[in-house]
Amino acid sequence: MTEFPSGCLGKLPLHGDFIRYNAGSAEVQEFDTWIQEGIYQGYQELDSRWDSSFDNAPVARFIYCSPKSRRILAGLFKPSVDKAGRRYPFMVYTIIEPGALGNDAGYLPWAMEPFLLKATELAAWSDSAIDLKTFLKSFESLHFEPDLTEARKSFAKFVLSHATGDYWAGSFGSADDDRRYAAVQLTAWAADLRSPESSALRFPAVEPEPETAFWMELS
C-alpha cells in the first residue's frame, strides 16, 4: 500500500514564530496564500469581531488540488496562536501525488478518515506539547495510507442504505423542500461528466465525509 508523508504549517503556543514541517511544496504555499487572503478579507469585513470569530472557529477539514502541480493537499486546520498571542491557523496535512488515486478520487474523504483522526489527536496535543522538537518528531510516523478499495465498498453501502428523502431533510430541513428540484437539475447537468454505466441518481445522507465524497465522485 502506498504511503504519503505528513506535514504541518502554522502557529502554536509552544513557539514564537511559524512552525513548518514538510512545508516547502508549491501546493502548501498556494493553500497558505489562500488562508492569508481569507484572514485579510475577514479583518476587512468583521473588523473588531474578527478575533473572536477566529478563536471560536471549529477545526476544518480540506482537500485542495493544485492547478499547477495537480498534487492534492488534504488535511485539517484549526485556529491557533503563537507564544506571543498572534493568531494564525495551524494545519496538518498530507500531499498526494497526481494519479495516485486513479479514478477513485471521489472516495478520498472516506479513505482519509484514519489519517484525519490521528491528525486531530496530534493537533489537540499541540496545545500541551512540551517543546517543538518533541512535537515535530511525531510527524515522522504520521503517514497517509489510502485504502481505496475499502473506502469504495463503505461508500457504496452507505449510499444504498439511505433514502433520497434523508438527504433533502438533512440539507434543507424537509424532504419536500422545493430546493431539491434545483439539486436534481444540477445533477442532470453533471451527467455529461459521468461514464454511461454510472448514470444512476444517488444522494448520500448529510454527513461530512459521505457528502463530500459523493459530490467529488459526481464531478
- Among residues 129, 146, 163, the one where a domain terminates is 146
pTM, 2 dp: 0.77
User: Do both 127 and 78 map to the same domain?
Assistant: yes
Burial string for 25-48 (b: 16+ CB within 10 Å, else e) reads eebbeebbeebeeeeeebeeeeee
User: Do both 130 and 89 map to the same domain?
Assistant: yes
Closest Cα to residue 80, out of 130, 33, 39, 24? 39
pLDDT at 143 over 60: yes
What range defines the domain where residue 72 resides? Answer: 4-146
The pLDDT mean for the chain works out to: 84
User: Do both 78 and 126 map to the same domain?
Assistant: yes
User: Do both 125 and 161 map to the same domain?
Assistant: no
Closest Cα to residue 108, out of 122, 96, 117, 91? 96
- Among residues 100, 115, 146, the one where a domain terminates is 146
The count of structural domains within the chain is: 2
pLDDT at 44 over 90: yes
pLDDT at 208 over 70: no
User: Do both 131 and 177 map to the same domain?
Assistant: no
User: Do both 105 and 206 map to the same domain?
Assistant: no
d(CA 94, CA 75): 6
pLDDT at 146 over 70: yes
User: Do both 113 and 78 map to the same domain?
Assistant: yes
pLDDT value at position 199?
A: 47
| pLDDT tens sequence across 9-24 | 999 999 999 999 999 9
DSSP assignments along 68-83, one per residue: TT--EEEEEEE--B-T
- Among residues 98, 113, 146, the one where a domain terminates is 146
User: Do both 142 and 43 map to the same domain?
Assistant: yes
